[in-house]
Amino acid sequence: MKFKSRKRNQIAPSREKTSPLAPAASDSARCLFSSSDGRRCGMVRWEDHPSLCLFHARQEQQLLEADRIGAELVSISGEFKTAHDLNHVLGKLFALLANNRIPPRNAAILAYVGQLILQTLPSVKRDVVAAGNHNAWEDTLRRAFPQLAAPQRT
């Protein structure tokens, strides 16, 4: 068996692996996302993001949007002890779904949970009244509606 020797001017084939989707680029033009095991994304950085490829930039945007949506779905009083609180949250949920900011499946699940909470409100009122007295329920409503508890100025 004979080995062919390379001529001095011949260049050895490159062993770098390049993605067929991403042309060869310098390291600074690559996505900076690193996985939990330390591997780095090999895609080219997206031109509209300073450090990530299109895929990882979209993932980042979805996480940021989820935080904003969670903050928007807070009830007026911070609790779910009144129908008004639930109505407020379900109205926001409707707007998020109509603006396509939340998947329909997530909206359906949240609406169902809201329905379950709404069905338990009479029991919550009974428990609060039984634990204190009727004034305890009125105190709960005042905390839920601080704008109504303030004296009206004319």
pTM of the full predicted structure? Answer: 0.57
What's residue 110's pLDDT? 92
Query: How far does Cα 102 stand from its chain's mean position?
Result: 9
What's residue 150's pLDDT? 57
What's residue 148's pLDDT? 66
Spatial neighbors of 7 by CB under 8 A, at least 6 apart, are none
User: Positive or negative CA dihedral for 58, 59, 60, 61?
Assistant: positive
Closest CA to 128 of 120, 119, 137: 137
What's residue 1's pLDDT? 54
What's residue 152's pLDDT? 52
**Which runs of consecutive H residues, i.e. helices, occur in the chain?**
54-72, 83-98, 104-131, 134-144, 146-149
Q: Is 29 helix (H, G, I), strand (E, B) or coil?
A: helix
Q: For the chain, which ranges sit under pLDDT 50? A: 12, 14-16, 18, 22-24
Q: Is 36 helix (H, G, I), strand (E, B) or coil?
A: coil
What's residue 91's pLDDT? 92
Label residues 102-136 b or e (16+ Cβ within 10 Å = b).
Answer: beeeebeebeeebeebbeeeeebbeebeeeeeeee
